[in-house]
Amino acid sequence: MNRRQMLGAAGAVLALGPQAVAQAKAASGTMPLLLPPRLKAGDTVGLIEPASATWEPFAITLIEEALANLGLKSKRAHNILDRDGYFAGDDKARAGGVNQMFADPEVAAIMSVRGGWGTARILPYLDFDLIRQNSKVLIGYSDITALHMAIHAKTGMVTFHGPVGISAWGKRSLETFKPLLFDGATPDYVNPVAEEDRLAQRNWRTQTITPGKARGRLLGGNLTVMTALVGTPYLPSFDGAILFFEDIDEAVYRVDRMLTQLGQAGILGRVAGVIVGNCTDCGQGNSIGGFTLSEILTHHLQPLGVPAYSGAFIGHLTDQFTVPEGGLVEMDAEAGTFRLLEPAVR
For residues 274 and 169, what is the distance between their CA atoms, to the nearest angstrom?
A: 26
- Asked if 330 is an active-site residue, the reply is no
What is the DSSP track for 253-299?
A: HHHHHHHHHHHHTTSGGG-SEEEEEEEET---TT-SS---HHHHHHH
For residues 46 and 280, what is the distance between their CA atoms, to the nearest angstrom?
A: 29
For residues 129 and 117, what is the distance between their CA atoms, to the nearest angstrom?
A: 25
Q: In 3D, which of 4, 336, 322 has the Cα closest to residue 174?
A: 322
**Annotated catalytic residue, options 246, 300, 310, 325:** 246
End-to-end CA distance of the chain: 40
Residues counted in the chain: 346
Q: In 3D, which of 262, 265, 292, 260 has the Cα closest to residue 279?
A: 292
- DSSP SS3 for 71: coil
**Annotated catalytic residue, options 49, 64, 316, 325:** 316
For residues 289 and 14, what is the distance between their CA atoms, to the nearest angstrom?
A: 59
**Annotated catalytic residue, options 52, 74, 112, 142:** 142
- Asked if 246 is an active-site residue, the reply is yes
DSSP conformational letter for 167: S
* C-beta of residue 321 within 8 angstroms of C-beta of residue 278: no
Q: In 3D, which of 22, 16, 50, 43 has the Cα closest to residue 34?
A: 22
For residues 137 and 177, what is the distance between their CA atoms, to the nearest angstrom?
A: 11
Strand order in the sheet with 328-332: 188-190, 337-340, 328-332, 213-222, 242-248, 273-280, 308-310, 207-210
Catalytic residue numbers, as ranges: 142, 246, 316
